[in-house]
Amino acid sequence: MPKYPDITVQLTGKDGNAFNILGICLRAMRQASLSQEERDAFYAEATSGNYDHLLATCMEWFEVK
């Protein structure tokens, strides 16, 4: 169960560039009115490893399609 199951991000069929994926997730967080601190926490976790870690972090935080 993701941390925010009510936030769905569409990653399949999109540009798989890491910066694009981060943008999609951060935009979804803003639209869901999550705090800047929470967005910063996601960003720090998502960028603390490699590309696979980024994808795993997205799946831990959101519903990913």
User: For residue 12, which phi and psi values (nearest 5 degrees)?
Assistant: -75, 140
Q: Provide the residue ranges of all domains of the chain, joining segments of one domain with +.
A: 4-64
What proportion of the chain, given as a percentage, has pLDDT over 90?
92
Q: Which residues, in sequence order, are bridge partners of residue 63?
A: 8
What proportion of the chain, given as a percentage, has pLDDT over 70?
100
* Cβ–Cβ < 8 Å for 58, 21: yes
* Range 15-30 average pLDDT: 95
Give CA–CA dist 2/58, Å, rounded: 9
55, pLDDT greater than 80: yes
Residue 14: per-residue pLDDT: 74
**24-52 per-position pLDDT tens digit:** 999 999 999 999 999 999 999 999 999 99
Residue 13: per-residue pLDDT: 83
